Structures are given as structure tokens and as C-alpha cells.
Structure 1
Amino acid sequence: MLLVLSGQCSVHTLVGYIAGPAFDRLTALAPTAPFRPCGTDRTTPAVLEARGTKPCPGVIEAFARIATGSRQRAMAFRLERRNNRWICTAVELDTDR
């Protein structure tokens, strides 16, 4: 998701790994590349920290703290186990652009 949200990959690279409203949200966010560094900074965004919880069997709710140049951003997402695969079913960012 970080590669898509920083403009480095197409949202279609995640087909099969993201479903429903999460895919729609990522498709809407991708053109704005909200995790692309601003100005002249061309530093590649990096995950600084990622944590998650298991609110019930087959579900992980997680967040990632991401560095985009000198700025830190946050992304939360939900993964659900479906047919022996983890599928992203929700994506939220710290702010909308």
C-alpha cells in the first residue's frame, strides 16, 4: 500500500489483496499520492513502525508510522483471513488531502 500511496506503483498491483470499500478508497487516494515527499525532497517513504492487534480470530487491525521526507504520517488498515489469504478490507490515513 505504501508504494501505491507514494505514487511508485499502480493500485492494480494490489488486486487480489484488497477488497470492496478498501479498494475503492485506495483507488481514490492513489492519484494524489499522499505519501509522496513534498517539495524537492525525493526520499523514498519508509515504514518506521508497524503494530497490530487481533480483535477476533482471522482479523488483524494494524497501523503503520511512515516517514515521508522530514514528515511522519500514519496509516491504519484491517486485514481479514479469507480462503486462506489475508485481504485488506479497510484503509484510513491520518489526514485526507
Structure 2
Amino acid sequence: MGRAVRPAPALGAAPEPARQPPHALFAERLLAVLSGERPVHWMLGQTVGEAYEQLVQLAPGTPFRSPGARPVLRTCHFHPPRTDAVEVCATVATGERIRAMAFRLERGADRRWRCAAVELDGLHGGAPTHGHGQEHGRERDSHARVPAQSRAART
């Protein structure tokens, strides 16, 4: 018995999208909620602890909504402080502005990743944590960009 072989895609068919790592997938989900594209309750079951309440506080202001083109996830980087947690920072293009988003993912006993905390441009649950909520100058682009296929999937 041989291994299973996938049939070749039909000519002209779109290629299968690459699977996104959990941190990039959650960044896209949070962007959808914080731009007003999806309702906050879409994240029920995908959050733990204070994260859902933080989204409830942040989302009504649709901080990532932009006039014209829809916001785009530009960069997404992670650091795993433990095997069951990942801290993520991302940049989001909203029109002419570049915004920052940070969040923490934790893996539960069921092995599923869930968002445990969200922070935007210094905004934590709707209140500034650093005395401001403005962007800080130009983006430093010293890390890899989000793959083109994940940006294309948003259009």
C-alpha cells in the first residue's frame, strides 16, 4: 500500500492558501474585530481571562477602521516566553497610519490557542497605559513582513 496522493488542482484553480501560524491567524482575527469588520462576540471561545472584556472596551471605537482601503496586517512577530504561551506584536496599516497591536496567546489543556490579553498603541482595554494612545513616528521595519498570501486572503 502506498501513500495517499492528492489530485492535482484543476487548471486555473486558485492554489490552496498556506496555513497561517496561530499568532498570525489571531492577528487577522483581532484586526477584523477592531476594524469593525466582525462583531466582538465572534471572538467568544477564542479568548480567556480579561481578553474578551478588553475587546468589548476597545472594539466600539473601531480603532483600526480607516477611510478608503481596509486595514492590512503588515508585520507579525512572536516570542514564546513558555511552551504554552506566545507574546505577539504586530503592525497594521490603516490608511496613511501605521498602528501597533500586541496580544498574548495561551494554549489550554485542550491544546487550543486562545487570546489572553490585547493592547493597542498603548491602549489597554480602552484606557491609555502610557499616558497616550498615539502612534510613535515611523515604523521600524527590521523584521519580516507578513507573507503576501495572508494579505491577499484579506481582500
- Answer yes or no: same fold by TM over 0.5: yes
Aligned to 2:91: 65
Identity of aligned residues (%): 45
Q: Which whole-Å CA distance do the structure 1 matches of 2:92 and 2:76 have between them?
A: 9
User: Given residue 21 of structure 1, which amino acid in structure 2 is its aligned partner?
Assistant: E
| Structure 2 segments unaligned to the other structure (5+ residues) | 1-29, 124-132, 134-155
Residue 23 (structure 1) aligns with:
52
- In structure 2, the residue matched to 1:55 is 81
1:9 paired to 2:38: yes
**Residue type matched to 2:113 in 1?**
W
Structure 2 Cα separation of the partners of residues 60 and 7 of structure 1? 25
How high is the TM-score relative to the length of structure 1? 0.92
Distance in 1 (CA, whole Å) between partners of 2:84 and 2:63 is: 29
The structure, 1 or 2, with the larger RCO (C-alpha pairs under 8 Å, 6+ apart) is 1
User: Which consecutive segments of 4 or more residues in structure 1 shift more than 4 A?
Assistant: none
Output the amino acid matched with 2:103: F
- Alpha-carbon RMSD: 1.1
Instruction: Point out where structure 1 has 5 or more consecutive residues left out of the alignment.
Output: none
Task: Give the Cα–Cα distance (whole angstroms) in 1 for the partners of residues 33 and 58 of structure 2.
Answer: 9
> Which residue in 2 is equivalent to 1:34?
63
| Cα displacement (A) at 1:57 | 1.2
Other-structure match for 1:86: 113
Q: Which amino acid in structure 2 is aligned with residue 34 of structure 1? A: P
Task: State how far apart, in whole Å, the 1-side matches of 2:98 and 2:56 are.
Answer: 22
Task: Supply the AA of the counterpart residue of 2:114.
Answer: I
Higher strand share: 1
| Structure index of larger Rg | 2
Q: Determine the C-alpha separation between the residues in 1 that align with 2:101 and 2:86.
A: 14
